Structure 1
Amino acid sequence: MTSDKLQSISRFPVPSLDEMPEDIRARIEAVQEKSGFIPNVFLVLAHRPDEFRAFFAYHDALMEKPGNLTKAEREMIVVATSSANQCQYCVIAHGAILRVRAKNPLIADQVATNYRKAEITEKQKVMLDFAMKVSRQAEFVGEQDFELLKSNGFDEEDIWDIAGISAFFGLSNRMANVTNMVPNPEFYSIGR
């Protein structure tokens, strides 16, 4: 990737692969091998190597762990909250992942636009209602939220997962917006 191309994906400096620490370069190359391209989030965040490592360690702890929430449900949380936070990068990138994980070419657009009218379960709508509250008004989360979630089949660990994903992507959304992170064109057609 040329220097001009790298600089057009962020308002901050973007290092070239050969300038990156070995562990970060190796992770990026593994992603590139698996997906066929390098998602711009990896390149943009490589500007700050320690933060890159911390970001992706927490991302993986939330998004790749076993648990009652499916990987598609985790992506629904990201898409819904990222839409509310007006994060173009995360809606487009995680929308692609959601389409693949849900095996549904329509779901990401539905969840991003208005999850309450999306073709998802009532339980998933309760999950997203809570995720949105954490994302936008966490100071109002109370015992009634926990009772509603539990009455819909979520346990304490699920509730932590929903909150953690919502909160983490609040950070991600804000950094993507501040850095002016540009979504890769490849994301638009994945899972369609």
Structure 2
Amino acid sequence: MPYIALEDHLPGITGLLEYSKGTAQPIRNLTQFLLRGPSTLTEAERELIATVVSYGNECTFCTTAHTAAADLLAGETQTAEKVKQNIETAPVSEKMKALLTIARLTGESGKNVTTHVVERAKAAGATDIEIHDTVLIAALFCLYNRYVDGLGTALPIDPAYYDVLADRLVNHGYTRLPQGYDHLKKA
């Protein structure tokens, strides 16, 4: 049960973003820019970064939501699952292994990111902006993970909610739906 009064039909981050639209807007804008804006990293790769950080932070809502988004973008369900279990053996490029390692370490503490792991990413072809964006996405998802869990938000009753959410994230992005979310209320 959430620690503050949130709308019952909006589990996880959605309820929090609707609760405080003023603080939500800049967070949504940054997330939209980082995860859906121009980048040499694919949207699926950026969702994997969100997934790895959320998984490391044990945030069930965010892990499940971003795994579903990564799966939808990739058109398969194996990669995100394998990345969560072991980055080094996952079916991603060496560059992504290095960037996902940076993301995981950032999720633990920014001080855990060392020259060694950054040099590994650069040697695998990562650019400075890709390293920058990886750390920023990881830091942003630490904020989300702590926001969701720190206020005790509810998990969806129906696991299919995550598929609907993934579709919305992939096809609409991280901006607020123009019509809001009342359509999600049960009749």
TM-score between both structures, scaled by the size of structure 2: 0.77
Structure 2 residue aligned with 1:13: 5
**Which residue of 130, 133, 157 maps to 2:105?**
133
Pairing of 1:8-157 with structure 2 (within 5 A): 10-15=2-7, 40-157=12-129
For the pair 1:175 / 2:147, whether they are aligned, the reply is yes
Structure 2 residue aligned with 1:186: 160
Structure 2 residue aligned with 1:34: none
Gaps of 5+ in 1: 1-7, 17-36
SS in 1 for 2:5: coil
CA contact (8 A) 1:146 1:159 kept: yes
Change (3 A) 1:188 1:50: closer
CA offset at residue 78 of structure 1? 0.8
Give per-residue Cα distances to partners, 1:155-182, cap 9 Å, x unaligned. 1111111011000000001111112223
* 2-structure distance, mates of 1:164, 1:134: 9
CA contact (8 A) 1:77 1:166 kept: yes
Question: In terms of Rg, which structure is larger?
Answer: 1
Structure 1 residue identity aligned to 2:124: N
Which structure has the highest helix share of the two? 1
SS in 1 for 2:24: helix
CA contact (8 A) 2:101 2:117 kept: no
Structure 2 residue identity aligned to 1:167: A
Matched residue count: 163
Structure 1 residue identity aligned to 2:62: C
Identical columns (%): 26
SS in 1 for 2:86: helix
TM-score between both structures, scaled by the size of structure 1: 0.75
Change (3 A) 1:87 1:120: same
Gaps of 5+ in 2: 167-187
Structure 2 residue identity aligned to 1:113: Q
* 1-structure distance, mates of 2:38, 2:27: 19
CA offset at residue 113 of structure 1? 2.8
* 2-structure distance, mates of 1:136, 1:40: 21
Give per-residue Cα distances to partners, 1:60-83, cap 9 Å, x unaligned. 121111111111110111111111
